[in-house]
Amino acid sequence: MIEINGSTCQIDNMLLTKKALYVIEEKDYSGWIYGTVYQEYWRQTFAHYRSRKSGDTVTRIKFYNPIKQNHNHIRFLKEKFFYLENIPIKNIVVFGNDATLKNILVNTSGVYVMKINSLFTFIKNTELNITKEFKPEFLDMTINDFESANVIDSNIRLKHIERIREKYRSGNDN
């Protein structure tokens, strides 16, 4: 978790290689996942083979667009660490293997949505296509900056979680 001027940002995973920074938003969801880069909310859908008491045969759950969520994380990182502005940063959203990605439309450069079993191959192939490498001093500085900026105070972390829950209450229509 990173804090700037009282605002916090909790990033699921970051991978800094010799060639790029991968900022990874992880969603351990199952069911069918629908969404586009521009929608505010995406939808997780479960089909029920037998009608439930409500008569519904489908459950739909809205969740905040993970591409936008991760874009905000990257913006936050660039604000905190200005030198990240000019390096390759990949916005990756990863779903668990139990999810079925349906009509996920991403047409923005540097943004990727995939299942976890594709992540290693994706990073490996991306690294092959980037020729410029960071200097060891840059890597050391960046790692040190990330480690020193990491907020470990449990009260700040709890307040962040509460704020996010309030902000993105989606009024799911089950």
pLDDT of 31 over the 60 cut: yes
User: DSSP string of 107-170?
Assistant: -STTEEEEEGGGHHHHHHHHHHT------HHHHHHHHHHHHHH----HHHHHHHHHHHHHHT--
Q: Write the pLDDT tens digit of every residue in 94-130.
A: 999 999 999 887 877 889 999 999 999 999 999 999 9
Q: Write the pLDDT tens digit of every residue in 42-85.
A: 999 988 766 556 666 788 999 999 999 999 999 999 999 999 99
Say what the pLDDT of residue 166 is.
76
Counting residues of the chain whose pLDDT is more than 90, the rounded percentage is 65
Kindly tell me the sign of the dihedral angle through the C-alpha atoms of 68, 73, 78, 84. Answer: negative
Diameter of the chain measured on Cα atoms? 62
Tell me the Ramachandran region of residue 143: left when phi exceeds 0, alpha when psi lies from -120 to 50, beta otherwise.
alpha
Residue 141 has, within 13 A of its CA and on its CB side, a CA count of: 9
The answer to whether the beta carbons of residues 6 and 19 sit under 8 Å apart is: no
Q: Write down the residue that tokens 């009024």 correspond to.
A: 171
Domain locations along the chain: 2-139
Pick the closest to residue 67 from 109, 99, 38, 103 (CA basis).
38
Say what the pLDDT of residue 155 is.
79
